[in-house]
Amino acid sequence: MNQTPEFFDASDKRSMEEIHAAVFREAKLPEEGAEPGPAWLYVVIFATLCFGFFYIGRYLGEVSDRPHVLEEGVMMASMGPEPPQPLFKVGEKIYRQRCVSCHQENGLGVEGTYPPLAQSSWVTGNPERLAAILLYGINGNITVNGKVYNGNMPAWENLKDEQLAGVATYIRNSWGNSADTVRVETFVEARKKIKRVAPWTEQELNEMFKPQLASGAKK
């Protein structure tokens, strides 16, 4: 019964460590599922990421208040000229630049010196009369909201028609005022029709213009 196994070689004089060295030399097999993938897969992933970053960088525009706009020039050309700003907005800007120092932020003017534009029928009445006032100015006595003023309102002839229509529209629709938009053409026509250099007097304005446009004539 005490047979020696076949593979036992009595002449083998190596020590136990030497005989088992082969076992320790073998690298451990990686665990299933944790084997590294094929190299081409890494190349594909890397290339995809590179393309992704490139794409985002190229087509997402810039860091700006209009980040979605790529190549502004091309976009603008395809969109045509910039749409005109609404007159009210144009006018608000002009008012702040040119009028606010006298007629004030609240449109109430300065008691005894600069007349109010709020609730003034000169403002909300006949737009042609308002255009005439803005283009050529006024001096001498003028009654506004029941009070008499006697100062000089400069002429604004040098402003563009669009700016004038804007400011007229703005003052007709601020501080509780509510009246029609004044069209740019109203100023174009007024310049053609009225040939004068001197500022108006209240009397001249009353002779030349009706306080209101005839009803139905929306100008």
Please give the residue ranges that form the binding site for ligand HEC (CB under 6 A). 98-99, 101-103, 114-117, 120, 122-123, 130, 133-134, 138-140, 142, 144, 149-154, 156, 167, 171
Q: CB of residue 208 vs ligand HEC: minimum separation in angstroms?
A: 15
Give dist(CA 138, CA 187) in Å, integer: 17
Q: Which is nearer to ligand HEC, 98 or 219 (CB)?
A: 98
Q: Which is nearer to ligand HEC, 189 or 204 (CB)?
A: 204
Q: CB of residue 115 vs ligand HEC: minimum separation in angstroms?
A: 3
Q: Is 123 helix (H, G, I), strand (E, B) or coil?
A: helix
Residue 195: which residues within 8 A CB-CB, separation 6 or more? none
Q: Is 111 helix (H, G, I), strand (E, B) or coil?
A: coil
Q: Which is nearer to ligand HEC, 139 or 212 (CB)?
A: 139
Q: CB of residue 87 vs ligand HEC: minimum separation in angstroms?
A: 13
Q: CB of residue 150 vs ligand HEC: minimum separation in angstroms?
A: 5
Longest dimension (CA), the chain: 145
Give dist(CA 130, CA 165) in Å, integer: 10
Residue 212: which residues within 8 A CB-CB, separation 6 or more? 125, 126
Beta bridge partners of 110: 114
Q: Which is nearer to ligand HEC, 48 or 85 (CB)?
A: 85
Q: CB of residue 100 vs ligand HEC: minimum separation in angstroms?
A: 8
Q: CB of residue 145 vs ligand HEC: minimum separation in angstroms?
A: 8
Q: Which is nearer to ligand HEC, 87 or 171 (CB)?
A: 171
Show the 3-state SS of 108-119.
CCECCCECCCCC
Give dist(CA 14, CA 37) in Å, integer: 41
Q: Which is nearer to ligand HEC, 189 or 202 (CB)?
A: 202
Count Cβ atoms below 10 Å from residue 51 Cβ, excluding itself.
10
